[in-house]
Structure 1
């Protein structure tokens, strides 16, 4: 891209992360962003020849807009700018499958895509293949799908593209699971019940409204899928991407296997059921402690054995997964041929609107910087 050109940006989704994305873009006036469109779940604000979107009062203008969301209009607007030789960008801050399925068409039209939405990269392989093929016309960047603002995907790509061979990736990928097990199974020892830890995490906003959506391991499985598909050695002999059915193909240990359907679908019902599992988790914690270990919910991409799994595992109390984590931190280890004796470690806050938005905006800047 010509660094001298202005970047015309459409932002889809202005919830917690999306609002931070817009504010961080506005805070970088030197890069010449032009907001073409903004959409909430119900309303849309579109720049016209006569009226640009006010970067100061955009929220009030969007709230008072009477224009319903129409992403086909957003696509057509960006596509027309591409035809005029302009640089365009579609930022998807939603978690929508429907929006994710628009990516191939957007990219084919020469529209770049930046997103924290995991759906497109961790679902059925057909959609992922379509995105990769369409990227000949437009670029897609999704750093924040795995580690929020942490440089996980960029680190992996740098390793792969400079010729290093990935042996294994392992880490604590879920900020929610990190918080829960850092407190439940600590190096110092803990006697608090599992359900009370989860209840506290939920009260502080560390979990989804229904913690079952965190404890089923699907979020970790999605992140592992995203990473596994970047590693060349994970492809099969015909060159096909791994994990045909995305995160559903990952060996995933759910921590709610015994939960009744009513608990899985309702957060309050789930929290009433969870104390029934306290004895089970206490037994696992005691056994781990007696062995000098702690419990951590981890994700592993074992390239050598072509195994991708998300599981509750035991680690020695001297291991970085036991000693280095605090709060809802993520920590990821890259075991490679170059980093054989001592793995490359990336660690830090792996969740939060501000750091996730930072990951999105950093991807945007990659499209601008020469």
Structure 2
């Protein structure tokens, strides 16, 4: 299917994923502009961070965005004004939101209604209130509306094809019975180190500090250990499987933050005090070991019984989940067609390059649909 000849791209967020995406976008633009037959052109017309933005009144393509952004002094426009700016662009526009901003997420229906397509790894739009979820897909052309298109593959499993696979199963009439697995690169790395199937592993607090030092956790490790990141991903998958999950806090989510440390004033204070509670996790580890099992941080969606849960599970050492390496994710989908042998998706579930790849692939999907 041919691509449209010119599409304008607006990008919010130039952090880790944002920078990787902009690099991949540059490669994609070069490839499409040199395509045999009819060349196609992608123009980056907007780039903003939380503090500033670069753009031109005449929609001229941005050149060396890194130096332009460094020297920029213009503040980012409020979202309604950004919407009006993009609506007046001389062609179709795709807005790429590489942030985890709740405010940007809540503005998606406004952009979509105006015909602006959205591509994003932002989980908050699709795991927030059920009302926001429905309003996004009521507006989108690939929902029940007539506005822009919306794709969010990277909101679950970074670049792994989790959402597209689940949508294919549902749309072709398969019955999804259960979705289960390890949905966090951070939690995967942490428990693969804390209790390897071969035995060993250091104290829990030491493994958390190690994961943070290697860049696997959020700047404040509590943002991983509270389980909410996994709960958001499970909310998205449960909704795609047909469950009306109200929010990521509407089902059981086990936090690994000891009650006594919930009031710590900073992530650093939390890490300093965490060794006091290593005994609790050691007990769980030993209990699993005595049964020939290991503990892993698992999420599951039981579709027929309308149940979603996130937390520690004892897993048999021969189970594929137990044998994961590094920060790999593994998602198993049990369906009527696949029977007792689930469809399994496994691979790197975190990292700037793979997350950005999912975003870039979604941009290509939109380009095809816009023609």
Pairwise same-fold verdict (TM > 0.5): yes
For 1:121, the equivalent position in structure 2 comes to: 126
How big is the shift at 1:129? 1.2
Task: Kindly report which structure 2 residues correspond to 1:154-165, keeping only aligned pairs within 5 A, or say none.
Answer: 154-165=164-175
Aligned partner of residue 259 in structure 1, secondary structure: helix
Task: Kindly report which structure 2 residues correspond to 1:1-370, keeping only aligned pairs within 5 A, or say none.
Answer: 3-28=3-28, 29-31=30-32, 32-49=41-58, 51-54=60-63, 57-70=64-77, 71-81=79-89, 86-135=91-140, 136=145, 137-232=147-242, 234=243, 242-244=244-246, 246-263=247-264, 265-323=265-323, 325-369=324-368
Deviations 1:113-170 (A, max 9, x none): 0011111111111111110111121111000001100000001001111111100000
Q: Would the aligned equivalents of 2:193 and 2:201 in 1 still touch at CA under 8 Å? A: no
Deviations 1:82-112 (A, max 9, x none): xx5x221111011110111110000000110
How big is the shift at 1:65? 1.5
Q: Would the aligned equivalents of 1:14 and 1:39 in 2 still touch at CA under 8 Å? A: yes
Q: 189-198 vs 141-150, which deviates more?
A: 189-198
4+ residue runs over 6 A deviation = none
Aligned partner of residue 249 in structure 2, secondary structure: helix
Q: Would the aligned equivalents of 1:172 and 1:297 in 2 still touch at CA under 8 Å? A: yes
TM-score, scaled to structure 1: 0.92
How big is the shift at 1:2? 6.8
Q: Would the aligned equivalents of 1:225 and 1:250 in 2 still touch at CA under 8 Å? A: no
Q: 34-43 vs 221-230, which deviates more?
A: 34-43
How big is the shift at 1:47? 3.4
How big is the shift at 1:213? 1.1
- Flag the 1:189–1:50 CA change in 2: closer, same or farther, 3 A: closer
For 1:238, the equivalent position in structure 2 comes to: none
How many residues were matched structurally?
Answer: 354
Extract unaligned runs of 5+ from structure 2.
Answer: 33-40
- Flag the 1:139–1:259 CA change in 2: closer, same or farther, 3 A: farther
Q: Would the aligned equivalents of 2:45 and 2:59 in 1 still touch at CA under 8 Å? A: no
Give the Cα–Cα distance (whole angstroms) in 1 for the partners of residues 31 and 7 of structure 2: 12
Give the Cα–Cα distance (whole angstroms) in 2 for the partners of residues 140 and 74 of structure 1: 18
How big is the shift at 1:195? 0.7
Q: Would the aligned equivalents of 1:315 and 1:321 in 2 still touch at CA under 8 Å? A: yes
Give the Cα–Cα distance (whole angstroms) in 1 for the partners of residues 262 and 236 of structure 2: 29
Give the Cα–Cα distance (whole angstroms) in 1 for the partners of residues 27 and 70 of structure 2: 21
Give the Cα–Cα distance (whole angstroms) in 1 for the partners of residues 226 and 346 of structure 2: 23
How big is the shift at 1:257? 4.0
How big is the shift at 1:52? 2.8
- Flag the 1:160–1:282 CA change in 2: closer, same or farther, 3 A: same
- Flag the 1:48–1:199 CA change in 2: closer, same or farther, 3 A: same
Give the Cα–Cα distance (whole angstroms) in 2 for the partners of residues 15 and 274 of structure 1: 29
Q: Would the aligned equivalents of 1:111 and 1:138 in 2 still touch at CA under 8 Å? A: yes
Q: Would the aligned equivalents of 2:159 and 2:358 in 1 still touch at CA under 8 Å? A: yes
Q: Would the aligned equivalents of 1:295 and 1:314 in 2 still touch at CA under 8 Å? A: yes
- Flag the 1:338–1:43 CA change in 2: closer, same or farther, 3 A: same
Extract unaligned runs of 5+ from structure 1.
Answer: 235-241
